[in-house]
Structures are given as C-alpha cells and as structure tokens.
Structure 1
C-alpha cells in the first residue's frame, strides 16, 4: 500500500467538503463575531474569511488543520487539536471493508488504543498500548510502530533468542500490561523449551495467559502489520529506536537523583499525570498510571532507568516534547522507578545468556544470589 498515494486520493476527494466548510464559515462568522460573542477590543477589525488550503500529497488534513507529516508520522510537537490525530485509522479506512483481515485489523486497533476495556482478562493494569506508543503507534519519537512489523523475527537480549512479532506482543502483555497471574509454577522454563514464552496459569482458577495464538495477540499482530504495509521487510524504518539518550550522556546509576526528579515532575508532569502518578482525566483521555498496582510491572522495559529516561526525553511532555535535558529526563526516570509497582515473578528467567543491563533497576543481585542460593531478584 502506498501511504502517500492513498492519502493523496483521500485529500482530493475531500476538496469539495473543505470548500463547503469554508462557505459555512463565511456565513456563520458574522454571527460568531457579533458583539458579546468575542473578546472586547478598542476597534472592530474587518472580517476576513480565508478558504482553507487543500492538503497536498505528503500532508495530513483534518477539517480544521493542515500540517506536514514526518514521513508517515504525526509530528512530535503537537497541540490539543492535533494531539490524537491518526494518519492511518482502521475504523475509518473503507478499504478494510472488503479485506478478509479487515475486522481483525480493526479489533487490533481497538485493543491497541483501549487495551484494558477490550481485553480485561489479560490486562489487570490500567495500561494501554497507546500510553507508550502515542497516536496508536503513529507519532514521531514516541515509539512509533509504523514499518516495524517487518523487522521480526528479531533477537531479544532479555530472552536470549529470536522473537517473532507475536512473541514480542505476548511479552508486552506479561510485563507492560502486567498480565501475569498467580504464583510462579515453573512454567517459563517449559515455555522457553517450546519456544512459546508463556508461564502456565492453572492454579487457583486463574484466567489463561496470552500466548502467540490468542485472538488478542493475533489481532494486534494484524494491526501492526497493517501499519507496516508498503515497507520492505528487514529494512529498519529510520524513525525506529530513536528514543535513546546517547551513551556519553548517560549518568552513572548512583548519580541519579529521585528527589531532583520529583521536583521536575511536579513542575512539568503533574498536570497530566497527577501528584499520585495515576493520570488526570482530560475529556475522554487519561494518561496511564506511572506507578502503583495498575502500572507496568518491574520486569517491563520501562522499569529500566535509561529506557524510561529516553522515552521521557523525546516523547514528553505530551504537547511539548524535548524541553527536558538528557540529565533531567534521567532524574525524572529515577523518581518514577523509585515508586512501588507490581513485581514480575519470572525475572529469574531473564538474561540467562546475555549480560544484565546496568540500568535494570529491579534485577540487582544480592550476596545470597551471587552465592547461588536461587533467591528471587527484586
């Protein structure tokens, strides 16, 4: 699918609608601008009604605004008007109506953008995929997923093996969505042998855990492949893996200051995330919980200091990303990670073949573990 071509045809088809909108504005503007309906001024300015410019190929037009996409992505800096724009929205893509996988793609999109509501059995947390992958995985420097499906299978350092796209999604359910239930029953060892990363969950009438064949995983896979149509498999999109602070700018772990991070959080983050980190309701939108029982667990990638700091540095604050320095983003990361969150009880299965990353905050091995007692890492 040619992204530019499909968008261009939609823009052309919408030209008449835009002209009608402009005429409506011309009729209604004098009413809106009548005395008592506008801010007072010393003199009345002449009414000027401009026809909205028709979007050109490569631009994204939605009724009241037009702006340049960054490749296929919504720009990193946005406004409340454009904050939730979607260049590719399966729910309004009429081409999916005749596709065999159309309904599956739409379900995957709904899962991606409202995970707890669409699959409560796998999502005891309050986290949605789009809390981290902003604009449904279609925003610049906010972990975009466009074109990423073709990069799998891909080696996963934590698991020490190649992951399919389905494996990666299952891992997100276990960690970022905290879908792991019940006590550790040794299921991961057998799962790894079978190349299916699923711990068993038969105790205490626990609901089943997601695996690579779960309908939710299949649907999410379909949506991500939809976002990757037209991209060459195995060719890394230029916008992938850009949320990383350069190695030379990383602070030593013992130099990270949660207290300083809290001060920055209070100044720049609290309006959306709240003083308790649970998110502030803004219309029908709400930021995901940054800590507490409904947040991601301590086995998730965002529980690593530098990983979380990279996301904060380039994707936050939501409407003005990039205002934090590399150093400040790392201190905010330390503050968030210092807060309580669910424990992932299978951490002892991670990093069996690869070195433990130095920023893996909850994998600190104590003397007993080094001595080989088998204690659970925290």
Structure 2
C-alpha cells in the first residue's frame, strides 16, 4: 500500500493511511509517515501548480490567449514588438511559454505578488515585474502600466497560477517555482572549457558567434539580453542552463553549466542604462476602459 503512487490516492485515502501508520511499529511507522507526508506535500504542490485544463470563458479567456500569444512570440507580435529591442521572446527564457516546471516557470508565480524587490528597493506588483523584463531581458522599452500588452501578459501568468495559494514573497520578487541556484563554487567557472562545451552542445542552435538561428535565440551581442538582465550573471545563467539545455534534454553537469555560462557571458552585450529604457512620462501608464454594453 505504501508503494502505491501518491497521485493515485485521494486526500481521504492519504489521511487514512497516515492514521494507520501511527499505530504501527515505532521506527517503521515514523519512516513511513515521513515518506507519506513528503509525498503528500509534493502532490499538493503539483495539484496547485499545473496548467489549467481550459481557458476562462468570454472576454477574459480571450485576454489570456492574447497574453499567451505575446509570451510565445514577443519580438514579432504586433502589440509587443514595439517594446522589444532584441530578438528574444518571453519563452526564450521561460520555456514552453512559462509552463516548464523548472526553467523560468510561470506556474504559481502570481501567488507571490505583490512582492519585495531588493533591486527596486520597494514592493512591486506582478505587472511591474513583467514590464521590467522588457527593459532588461528584451533590451527594450517598458510598456505602459495598464496597457494591452501589460494586462494580457499578466493575465496569462495569473491564469497559470490558478489554484495556487497566495503567499506574497517578502524577500524577493520570485514565484514558488523560481530557479534554484546551483550549490557550487562559481569562481571555478571556466570560460575556456565553456568554449569547447558550447561548440558541442550549443553552437548548432545558437550559432558560431552567438547570433542565434531558426532553432535558438541569440545568446550574446546586440540581439540578446543586456547586462542588466538576470541571466547576465554567470550563476543565474549557469543554474538556468542546468535545467533548460539542451532544449528538451537537459543533460549538463553542474560544472559544465557553469563553464558554458562563463563563456557566453564573457562576450559583449548591450549595456543597461535605466533612463534609456523608460518611456516618456506621458506613457508610463494608461487607463483603458471600454463602453459598457449594459
């Protein structure tokens, strides 16, 4: 019974199993109880952080789908393209449109906001977080708060948080499935080793000079993220590579991930200057209402 898949048990069955284990032999009962509790927590998290089965009905569902379309094709979608300054899309980092459970996952993310942001030194909303990515990861201009772009993308991310328990993050502006940093000595990251590894694992999709191909986005140069983006940090990029690359079959060791990150980030990329990425004062925010049909 203990080895039966926890996902196959109902909440009532898990409760009954825990009750029974409380009266078994002490040590075996304790060990089994720990297993059940850990598995139950994992199942609960999985149930709370999964892609919903369907879009909401009516206009809300249409906005969710609009946000999804922009996440998947940010640099070319007619609404988001004017705010993008390179060839990256949201899904370039947030794999599978943010539905990948580890690589920049959007699952459950909305439940962490509003959150404290050490970088901005203030509490920010999910909308703020999304718009800041346009300035850094996409080396573009911050879309207006309340704009169609801003509302649609945050609505999509919120939809991917359906069922998640609200737990605002008081430490960082990160969701419950945020990227886990590798526990290694980052001083040992070696760009020369990374160059060889890049040729083996990355070059076919991202190009000899990091310029990108039809199969992968640019990873350095003017068409990639600027040096204000999170992935411009070797530890952040290395930790992301570990769970994300090669696409569909992440197989790099911790050290290989660190070495490739050191190599990629040793190249030139645009320099981030906040004032160059902010819109004009009159475009910081918008109020978009529609005539009521009632």
| Displacement after TM superposition at 1:245 (Å) | 0.4
Conservation of the 8 A alpha-carbon contact between 2:111 and 2:175: no
| Displacement after TM superposition at 1:73 (Å) | 11
Task: Provide the aligned length of Structure 1 versus Structure 2.
Answer: 227
Say yes or no: does 1:244 pair with 2:181.
yes
Conservation of the 8 A alpha-carbon contact between 1:141 and 1:239: no
Residues 87-137 of structure 1 show CA distances to partners (whole Å, capped at 9, x for unaligned) of 558xxx4x53x3331221111001100001112210121010001111111
Conservation of the 8 A alpha-carbon contact between 2:193 and 2:259: yes
Classify 1:310/1:221 alpha carbon distance in 2 versus 1 (closer, same or farther; 3 Å): same
| Displacement after TM superposition at 1:215 (Å) | 1.5
CA distance in 2, matches of 1:169, 1:267: 33
Indicate which of 95, 120, 130 corresponds to 1:159. 120
CA distance in 2, matches of 1:330, 1:258: 9
Conservation of the 8 A alpha-carbon contact between 1:297 and 1:303: yes
Say yes or no: does 1:293 pair with 2:222.
yes
Conservation of the 8 A alpha-carbon contact between 2:109 and 2:175: no
| Aligned match of 1:302 | 231
| Aligned match of 1:172 | 133
Conservation of the 8 A alpha-carbon contact between 2:112 and 2:175: no
| Displacement after TM superposition at 1:274 (Å) | 1.9
Indicate which of 98, 103, 107 corresponds to 1:146. 107
In structure 1, the residue corresponding to 2:249 is in which secondary structure? coil
In structure 2, the residue corresponding to 1:71 is in which secondary structure? helix
| Aligned match of 1:317 | 246
Conservation of the 8 A alpha-carbon contact between 2:110 and 2:175: no
| Equivalent runs, 1:13-92 vs 2, <5 Å | 71=46
CA distance in 2, matches of 1:288, 1:279: 5
In structure 1, the residue corresponding to 2:225 is in which secondary structure? coil
Conservation of the 8 A alpha-carbon contact between 1:115 and 1:128: yes
CA distance in 1, matches of 2:135, 2:249: 31
| Displacement after TM superposition at 1:238 (Å) | 9.4
In structure 1, the residue corresponding to 2:116 is in which secondary structure? strand
| Displacement after TM superposition at 1:317 (Å) | 1.1
CA distance in 2, matches of 1:129, 1:344: 18
- Which consecutive segments of 4 or more residues in structure 1 shift more than 4 A? 86-89, 235-239
Conservation of the 8 A alpha-carbon contact between 1:142 and 1:243: no
| Equivalent runs, 1:197-212 vs 2, <5 Å | 209-212=142-145
Indicate which of 257, 263, 270 corresponds to 2:203. 270
| Aligned match of 2:68 | 109
| Displacement after TM superposition at 1:144 (Å) | 1.0
Task: With a CA cutoff of 8 Å and minimum separation of 6, indicate the structure with the bigger relative contact order.
Answer: 2
CA distance in 2, matches of 1:162, 1:215: 23
Unaligned runs of 5+ in 2: 1-6, 8-44, 276-294
CA distance in 2, matches of 1:299, 1:238: 20
| Displacement after TM superposition at 1:145 (Å) | 0.6
CA distance in 2, matches of 1:242, 1:125: 23
CA distance in 2, matches of 1:260, 1:232: 43
Q: What TM-score, normalized by structure 2, do the two folds share? A: 0.70
Conservation of the 8 A alpha-carbon contact between 1:243 and 1:314: no
Classify 1:113/1:294 alpha carbon distance in 2 versus 1 (closer, same or farther; 3 Å): same
| Displacement after TM superposition at 1:312 (Å) | 0.7
Conservation of the 8 A alpha-carbon contact between 2:85 and 2:138: yes
Q: Which has the higher helix share?
A: 2
Unaligned runs of 5+ in 1: 5-69, 75-85, 181-208, 348-378
